[in-house]
Structure 1
């Protein structure tokens, strides 16, 4: 059994498939707590290979993570800020420690940096506690492959936002 997340425009669809690739179920949702933001370029999609605690929380975290990888979102300080917790921090694949303001500034002020599409594979999500989701996946950006881990938390005021992210360069 595996899952596929398909993001098209504002909608995200979770498709549950059997080992042979046959569709079992599908459910749809939207990409944001109130305003789903811009459509994702090129109908981005990723394959979800494992999911523990299947529910709307994991779907929301995966949708948010995919939005953060979209060029239109990465080039907008406002859109990135909506998806990032005020206490966000990141340990980058380079080892650099980033806070919310510095990562938003670095990405949104250098639009060329985020032009190439970021490929996502091996997306897995686990509900750790109510309002807390852990995601892991592999990204490939122009041949630079990294294993990534994100913690998403829910607040009644802001909805789902990424609280922590770490990337580790990988050749595997």
Structure 2
């Protein structure tokens, strides 16, 4: 059995937490997690840095909403610092492949790059 890697475990725990409705509705909570150099490409087609990522969720997630179902979760350390994180999500019938690169920040591992790509399960 392979040794446990705290960096990989932090990324594996961190990304599903960012998808939860409590975090996605709160610009303050969303603004805190990304790495200072964050850049993302969302499943919606939007792209941007830390500021647009923080502004979007306040209007995109309704109170009482359930978090997406997460599947096919993987993490691998690419070098001493970066961790590659992949997973699938399904929410209200919409399926998305998600990938991110997590890097060290002053207060722990944070997403540095994120991409979400919608897909049709019939084509997978």
Q: TM-score, normalised by structure 2?
A: 0.85
Aligned match of 2:86:
136
The C-alpha deviation readout for 1:124-163, integer Å capped at 9, x for no partner, is: 11101122100011111111101110111012x2211111
CA distance in 2, matches of 1:86, 1:162: 9
Selected match of 1:112 from 30, 38, 62: 62
Q: Tell me the C-alpha RMSD between the 2 structures.
A: 2.2
Q: Which stretches in structure 1 are left out of the alignment for 5+ residues?
A: 1-15, 17-51
Structure with larger RCO (C-alpha < 8 A, sep 6+)? 2
CA distance in 1, matches of 2:63, 2:36: 23
Larger Rg: 1
Deviation larger for 63-72 or 101-110: 101-110
CA distance in 1, matches of 2:34, 2:79: 19
Aligned match of 1:20:
none
Local SS of the residue matching 1:79: helix
Closer/same/farther in 2, CA of residues 53 and 145 from structure 1, 3 Å limit: farther
Larger strand proportion of the pair: 1
Aligned match of 2:36:
86
